[in-house]
Structures are given as structure tokens and as C-alpha cells.
Amino acid sequence: MKRKALEKPSVLQFPINDKCDSKCLMCNIWENKISDDISPDMLQKGLSSNLFSKVKSVGINGGEPTLRNDIVDIIESVIFNLSALEQISLITNGYKTEKVIDRIEDIGRLTKEHGIKLDVMVSLDGYGEIHDKVRRRSNFFNNAIETLSSLKSSQYVDSVRVGCTVIQENVNYLQDLLDFCILKGFYIKFRLGIPHKRLYTESKNDTYLSSDSDKYEFSEFIANLLEHYEREPQQRDFYQSLIGQLVLNNPRKAGCLWQYKGATLTHDGKLLYCAVKSKVIHNDITQGNLTTSYFKSESHLRRIVDEECSSCHHDYVGELAKKEKVLRKIKRTSLYRIGKSTVKKVSLFNAMSKYVGYNHRYIKAKKVQTEDEFEVTQLSILVCGWYGTETLGDKAILAGIVSTIKRSKLSHYHIYLCSLNPYLSKETVRQMPELSAVTVLSVAQSVHSMKSAKFSCLIFGGGPIMTTPPVVEVSLLFDIANKMKIQTVLAGCGVGPFSERQLMPYLVNIIAKANTRIFRDNESLVRAQDLTEIRKSDAVTNDPSFTWLASNETIALDNSSSDKRKVLVLGLRDIPFKEYAHELDSVTAKRIKYNFEVKLIDGLIAVCEQIPDLRIIPVPMCTNHFGSDDRWYYRGLFRGHEKLMSNIDMQFLYNELAPSAYLRAFQLSDACLTMRFHALAFGLATNKRCVVLDYTFGKGKVKALADKYQQPNVSISDVESAWIVKHLLSALISPTEGSRELIDDTFSKELLESMSTISDA
């Protein structure tokens, strides 16, 4: 890649002192008792260098910069000597509220006088006690909030933001802080805590995110930021790049001005390139020729760029490389165009667009790279589907399929899982002991491995066969299996929806090429037989998730708790209009969504008025952004509804938990209010009365399952608050008329029969 030529700095980072009144877990500056800082006069002499003639923006930080009594004089030296200056950004912890506000307003008067924009960022690393724990000082959060509120109303500050540094201590509680900032109108930026030369933390690794689970959790959080919150282009680029770095081990792709036109001044007057990795390139800015030192040290900067930048997680931003800008533009504007004949010609391929936030997957015909190759050395079974985007229901389905395979007559085999996003499926495997023997493969690895004679069976593992872009990839796997004479099974699948009609040939291809077809309901059987030939061997069973759910029914319940309140579990989701009501225009869809949510909230409030101590537990059936993360939906739904919040138990709206933890919530509940198909399945399997809000508009899987087991249900377009209140009160208060038998596991019997012809040989 062609390097950008080194230019005079347009951005300057300037930590003006080296001590702090905080004791942050991720920083060691606070251990310094003395800070030998450059004086305003010496700073003025240094900044008079022609090197700084193009500096437009200066970042003032520390330490805690407001601890300097002469901070206004420092800012005055900056303004008077940087002729191109447009903005000063100052970062403060806001702890000593009165002093911080007084000094920032003094600075603001000065910047206003000279037409310079003043931006202030206040550090908040969590909501309430989480922030205090990270800062290791009591009452830190309250003081910082008071500082934020005062600065927001100040006539001398142009913009106020919040900055959060993410470490192990706070990674699972970021959403609480975001909710607070949204309610209060503060923009917040999240940065990853990293080993940092200037902060004396190059070897302080125990504080930063190190486990795969922590990296996964933070990646999903920022993926949802991209989906629901962040709109600034360069910050979006940084977040997207960081996700790739954390969970895919990709090199950094975010831009960074310090690679070619950025500089750092230290508190004692030294010159560096970036603060994270640069050595001192000029020891005293008041002496000698800074411009010469800056340009003659370029080889050091190039070494940093070549050896360090690709793994850097620091939140510097800047323009993307030209190649990356072009690629992202193509991804954002291209339509999904691929014909069936093209797929048939593809022998090996890579799925592009691994970053988060794109709506489509792009197939590229080329050889699988060496690092994607994976050799299968024993009899193997490959499970595919929408894994890599799995919901809690998908996890239950997978566990049901794997447990059934383990009960087969096969004695020597290995189970592989084809995943659209392997990092996500690996987290699923980590969460479930039932999946300990499963190996996760990428789509490219799966395609390569399918050509091995060692594969004996390809299973489409439950869920719906529907017309979303990854159906092309699954169709290709079925083509290869058919060519290689590998047995293929549809294992408890639904059929539809068909929102993207141009992808119907791939859906039909999957159904037609399956040797064994097991459907989860009669409606799916009828749809499949309408699309392909009718087979006498086609079977209808319960959803495969019931196999896993039935195996967990004997978990002992702890009834010794002193909390005897009624418990209502929620299994709600955002409405997927695109898949289930694609014929609706956006205005109509938004109106239906708004009316539904108003009636839902009103209904829940009315139920709480009848049962004041009701405990409402929102359970997220999806905890990844690919399937519309329910944690984010719940928080947005309840945000600002104070009448309801005292009844809401938020325990499941933080980090992702193992499926068994969510199942236990259903087991301990008195009733369930559900939208998601598998929320209803979990409720039925645990013998709970369910009230069902049908987002399939009366023509899909949710209504079919609710009607089958005679659970009250209504389309979201027709629901009224009174209907919700009536049926919830009945479910919560009225005794159940007899205990419903747990749903029979009919699925495993059919799957075992389909595998009876597979040989160990």
C-alpha cells in the first residue's frame, strides 16, 4: 500500500501535566507525586516553531489538566502561537467540580474571544458505582455528572461529550452508561483500554480485555452502537475496524492522522509522533530546529506504521486508506446480484463483508486461502444453517441435534459446525458443555472440507429455510454434498418467509436436494411440497429445540427464596418487517410499530397497577446484532417509562449468558409474554401459561405454534392494551387448569432413523 507523505502536523496532542487526582485501574499516572511541567513562557517559545504552522486542532489532557493552576496561561500560549488553530479539545475527569468548571469557563472566555471552538470531554467509565470502582475514588460519578451538567449549560463551551475507557471491570455494564447518556442528551464515545507508554502501563495487561468472551462482548456492544447509535463517519470506521481486530484478528483498517500529520508534546516539553508507541524525536521544544527533527525522524515513524499500527487499538481516527474507502463504498451501495448459474460454477469461495453493519453478504469466486483450509481426517458430520447469527433458540436446536447424533449407532465420528461468523459460534460452543465436541468452521473451510470423502452427512440444523442472502452459501453446500454422494438432512426446519424473491431458486434447491426432510410444523411441510415434489417420507415433528429443553426439565428449582412475588418473563423482539411484512411501506410499518409499543407499555403498566409487586424479567432470545439484539430492544422500549422501571428486573440485559441461565428464568416464572418463536417454545416446554404477540401477522410460525398448543395470541397489528391486561392477569393470577404434559420429543426419533444408514466405515 502506498504510504502518505509525511506532512506538518495538523493535529497536536498535548498532555499538559503528569499527575492526577484519580486512581484509575487502567492508568498509572496517579502514582506520580511530582510533575515537572513546561511553563507557559517556554511553551510559547516552542510553539513558535514553523513546524506547528498548520495545526488546526489541539487535544489538551493529562493526567488531570485542570490541576494546573496556570492552565489558562497554557491555553493562551497555544492560541497565540498557532495561527491555523480552529479547535481545542480538553479531557477532564470532572472530579473537583467547582475548580474544573471555573477553569474551563475561564478557558472558554478566551477561546470565544479568539473564535476558537472549545470541546470538552468528561471521562465516565460506568454508571454509578461502576465508575467509582474504575476510578477507585468514592462519589466520583456524582461529581462528574455535576460537572457535565454545568458544562452543558455553559455559554463558553461549544460541545460537551462523554468518554468511556473499556476494561475488564466495566465491559459488561456499558449499556447502563449509554442509557444514561441518551436520556441526558450527552454524546458518548467508547475507547478500549490498552497498554500505553505515556500512561506507564505497557506491562499492565491484567486490567485490559484479554479473554475471548470479553472481546466478544465488547465487539457485540460496538456492533450495536453502529446499528443504533453512532453516526459520525470516522468514528464508525474506527468501531468497524476494532471489531475486525478483536474477534477476527484482522489488521487495523481505521485511519489515523498520527501516521502522517500528527504530533505529541509531552508535559515537560518533548516532541513525539504518536503517544502510544513513539520515542522522543526532539528532547526540548525550546531548543534547536523542531521541523528538522520531525522530518529527519521519519524512518522511526515508518517503523511504527509498518510494525505497530496494524495491531493498534487506540482510538485515534483519520481518513481511511484510499483502497479501503473504495471497498467500503462498493459494499454500501452495491445490490446483491448473483445468479444461480454463477453459484453452480463456484467450487471454492470466500464470503466477503465480514465487518458489522452491512445488510448483505457478497460471494467471491476464488480459491480458498491456505489459512482457510481445514483437513477432515475422520468420519464427520457437518451441521449448517444460520449459525454464526444464532439466537437462544438456535443454540437449543443445535444442542438438540448434537445430543441426538451422540445417541446414534455411530461410534467414530466428529461434528463440525458451519458458521457464517465463526467467532460468534465459538462463543456458543464455550457456553454449552453439550457442544464441547463440536468444531466450528468458516463457510470457506466448510466448502473446502466438504470435498473430503470423510464427510458422511450434511444437516441443515433447524430454523427456517428462508430467502436471506446466506441461503446462497447453504445452497452451495447442498450442491457439493449431492455431487459427493453425501447424505443430506433437513432437521426440523421451517420454510419461509420469502421476502427476497430473487433468492427463491436457492431455497428450492436446498429443499429439493435434501435426502431426508423433517419439518417443524405442517405449514412448512405444505410450503415445501408446493415448491418441490411431494414425498411420502416427509415428516413433521416438534421443533428440535424441544429435544434440548426436554433434557433440561429435571433441573432442580430452588423454592427457598424469600421473594414470593409473581414473575412475568418477557420474550419480546423488535418487529422484523422486512422478512414478515415486506409489502408494507416504511410509513405504515413505523405506525404499526409505534401503536403496538404504546399499547404494550400501557398494558404492562396496567398489569403492574393490579399486581404492584410484579417482577417483570425481560429475557433476550437474541444477544447478537445479526438477529437484532433483544437487549437493545428492551432497553429502548423501556427507556423513559419510570412507572414501569420499578417492576423491571434487568439482570439478563447485560453480558451474554449460557442458555441454561435463560432457561432457568422461564422455569422460575409464573407466566410468559412472548413474541419470538423460541420464547414461546421455552415457555411451553417449561409448562408455563403463555400470552403470545404474533409478529408474523397471523401467517407464520408464531401463530402456528400458539394455536397448536392453544395459547392466546393476537397479531401485533390488532393488539389492544385491554387484551394484554386480560390475558396476562388470567395467566398470572388464575390457577392453571391441570398441568400440561411436557411436549414430547418426536424430533430425535426421526433424525436417528434418517442417520441409520450411515456407516462408520
- pLDDT category of residue 744 using cuts at 50, 70 and 90: confident
pLDDT of 111 > 70? The answer is yes
Across the range 480-502, mean pLDDT stands at 92
pLDDT value at residue 359? 28
Query: Which range (25-29, 118-122, 143-147) has the least confidence?
Result: 25-29
pLDDT of 368 > 60? The answer is no
Nearest CA to 447 among 359, 337, 343, 518? 343
Nearest CA to 490 among 396, 401, 622, 407? 401
pLDDT value at residue 197? 73
Please give the single-letter amino acid code of residue 77: S
> Which residue carries 419510570 as its cell?
642
Chain Cα centroid distance, residue 535: 42
pLDDT value at residue 560? 52
Structure confidence by residue, pLDDT tens digits, 510-538? 999 999 999 999 999 999 999 999 999 99
Structure confidence by residue, pLDDT tens digits, 669-701? 999 999 999 999 999 999 999 999 999 888 888
| Cα 382 to Cα 435, 709, 726, distances in angstroms | 14, 33, 47
**Beta carbons of 282 and 348 less than 8 angstroms apart:** no
pLDDT of 93 > 60? The answer is yes
pLDDT value at residue 711? 95
pLDDT value at residue 304? 96
pLDDT of 347 > 80? The answer is no
Nearest CA to 671 among 546, 565, 581? 565
pLDDT of 337 > 60? The answer is no
Nearest CA to 381 among 398, 361, 356? 398
pLDDT value at residue 471? 94
Nearest CA to 385 among 408, 359, 412, 416? 416
Share of the chain above pLDDT 90, in %: 77
pLDDT value at residue 757? 79
- pLDDT category of residue 280 using cuts at 50, 70 and 90: very high
- State residue 368 phi and psi, 5-degree precision: -70, 130
Run of H or E residues at 102: helix 97-113
Please give the single-letter amino acid code of residue 719: V
Across the range 85-112, mean pLDDT stands at 97
Structure confidence by residue, pLDDT tens digits, 578-612? 888 888 999 999 999 999 999 999 999 999 999 99
pLDDT of 262 > 90? The answer is yes
Structure confidence by residue, pLDDT tens digits, 609-633? 999 999 999 999 999 999 899 999 9
Across the range 250-278, mean pLDDT stands at 95
Query: Which range (49-53, 144-148, 751-755) has the least confidence?
Result: 751-755
> Which residue carries 493526567 as its cell?
63
Residue 206 β-bridge partners: none
DSSP single-letter state for residue 374: -
Mean pLDDT, rounded, of the chain: 89
Structure confidence by residue, pLDDT tens digits, 426-444? 999 999 999 998 999 999 9
- State residue 637 phi and psi, 5-degree precision: -65, -40
Structure confidence by residue, pLDDT tens digits, 695-725? 988 888 899 999 999 999 999 999 999 999 9
pLDDT value at residue 722? 98
Please give the single-letter amino acid code of residue 511: I
Q: Cβ-count burial of 82 within 10 angstroms (0-12 exposed, 13-18 middle, 19+ buried)?
A: buried
- pLDDT category of residue 450 using cuts at 50, 70 and 90: confident
DSSP single-letter state for residue 282: B
Structure confidence by residue, pLDDT tens digits, 153-210? 999 999 999 999 999 999 999 999 999 999 999 999 999 998 877 777 776 667 899 8
For residue 335 the three cell numbers come to: 445490490
> Which residue carries 489515523 as its cell?
256
pLDDT of 396 > 90? The answer is yes
**Beta carbons of 663 and 686 less than 8 angstroms apart:** yes
pLDDT of 344 > 60? The answer is no
**Beta carbons of 450 and 481 less than 8 angstroms apart:** yes
pLDDT value at residue 449? 85
pLDDT of 357 > 90? The answer is no
pLDDT value at residue 578? 85
pLDDT of 117 > 70? The answer is yes
**Beta carbons of 601 and 637 less than 8 angstroms apart:** yes
> Which residue carries 456458543 as its cell?
428
- The sheet with strand 689-694 has its strands ordered as 615-618, 567-571, 671-674, 689-694, 713-715
Q: Coil, strand, or helix at residue 393? A: helix
**Beta carbons of 222 and 195 less than 8 angstroms apart:** no
Share of the chain above pLDDT 70, in %: 88
Structure confidence by residue, pLDDT tens digits, 25-63? 999 898 888 889 999 999 999 999 999 999 999 999 999
Q: What is the C-alpha separation between 381 and 488, in angstroms, rounded? A: 10
Across the range 245-265, mean pLDDT stands at 95
DSSP single-letter state for residue 43: H
Helix (H), strand (E), coil (C) string for 474-543: HHHHHHHHHHCCCEEEEEEEEECCCCCHHHHHHHHHHHHHCCEEEECCHHHHHHHHHHCCCCCCCEECCC
pLDDT of 325 > 80? The answer is no
pLDDT value at residue 350? 32
